[in-house]
Amino acid sequence: MAGIMVVFDFDKTIIEVDSDNWVVDELGATDLFNELLPTMPWNSLMERMMKEMHAKGKTIEEIKDVLKKVPIHPRVVPAIKTAHSLGCDLRIVSDANMFFIETILDHLGIRNCFSEINSNPSYVNGEGRLIISPYVDFLTSPHGCNLCPPNMCKGMIIERIRANEGKKKMIYLGDGVGDFCPSLKLKEGDFMMPRKDFPAWKLICENRTLLKAEIFEWIGGTKLEQILIGLIEKIKIEEANNGVQLLSAVDCKFEKIPMVAHEAFPPPLRVHH
């Protein structure tokens, strides 16, 4: 069997909020964040916020404590554990940062479910301050994708993963503007799971004919679990039957996005999700 790869966005997909906003708000730095937001890219702003909060006495332990309280739908962790137990290769592609993601995954007890995490590098320096760097150094080596923020193109990450794991069927789950680009990299036989009424879903609905993957929208963790596990089981049945396309009862449970008339490609967007 070729196998199945499931790629998750993190913010507003695995967890219910944006982890950057969550930390900033919970540590009382929202006003400064909003003041600086128009002046620099999001990733650079988060690095600046870590510097400012450290200068005001906020510690790494306080940041960890806040991250451990992040809201998550009660069915998301079981869905991840089930997908892992079914033999899927689980990965994360996120514009958050490694420290935030790993802290939350460790707290939830699911870090070992993921074979790879792609996110902005971060580490705690000798002074106890969290340093956050861009995934791509956009000043010296810009990625050149006008659909994605300057520090990360998720589509390029998917292309790199595909080059190494080309035979695996891919299921991609995401919500934000940055998840539209990777949806365009999915192939026929893959599946895109955008969160309904979120930016990625809206862009996909406006540009449905650009995608080759089948699309299944979801609302909340219960639907995420139902659709994800249903798709995994469907793929496994088809692989077990030598690729014969079988009609499955799970199909009628899913909410597919129908084909719509092609509309103009959206302008470059730099909204962080």
What does the pLDDT look like over 61-80, one tens digit per residue? 999 999 999 999 999 999 99
Residues in the chain predicted with pLDDT less than 70, given as ranges, are 1-2, 138, 242-273
- pLDDT recorded at residue 142: 79
Binding residues: 9, 11, 20, 95, 175
Per the annotation, the verdict on 9 as an active-site residue is yes
**What's the CA gap between 216 and 218, in Å, rounded?**
7
pLDDT value of position 70 = 98
Can you tell me whether residue 173 is helix, strand or coil?
strand
- What is the model's pLDDT at position 67? 98
- Chain centroid to CA 112: 17
pLDDT of residue 2: 66
- At 141 the pLDDT is 74
Cβ atoms of 172 and 190 within 8 Å: the answer is yes
* pLDDT for 256: 63
Q: Please, which contacts does 179-184 make with residues 24 or more away whose CB atoms are closer than 8 Å?
A: 179/9, 179/154, 179/273, 180/147, 180/204, 180/207, 180/266, 181/145, 181/147, 181/148, 181/153, 181/154, 181/155, 182/7, 182/93, 182/154, 182/155, 182/157, 182/158, 183/211, 183/213, 184/155, 184/210, 184/211
Nearest CA-CA partner of 89 in 5, 204, 203: 5
**Whether 190 is catalytic:** no
Rounded to the nearest 10°, the torsion over CA 42, 174, 21, 223 is: 170
Residues 6+ apart with CB under 8 A from 212: 186, 187, 188, 190
Token pair 């893959």: residue: 190
Binding site residue list for Mg(2+): 9, 11, 175
- The pTM score is 0.87
Give the N- to C-terminal CA distance of the chain in Å, as an integer: 34
Considering 9, 18, 89, 179, which one is annotated as catalytic?
9
Distance CA 253, CA 247 (A): 12
Using the structure block, give the residue that is written with the tokens 């014969």. Answer: 244
Residue 169 pairs with which residues in a beta bridge?
4
Query: CB-based contacts of 76: which residues, under 8 Å, 6+ apart?
Result: 14, 15, 221, 224, 225
Identify the structural domains of the chain with CATH numbers, from first to last: 4-253 (3.40.50.1000)
Query: What pLDDT, on a 0 to 100 scale, did the predictor assign at position 241?
Result: 83
- What's residue 209's pLDDT? 93
In this structure, which amino acid lies at residue 264?
Answer: A
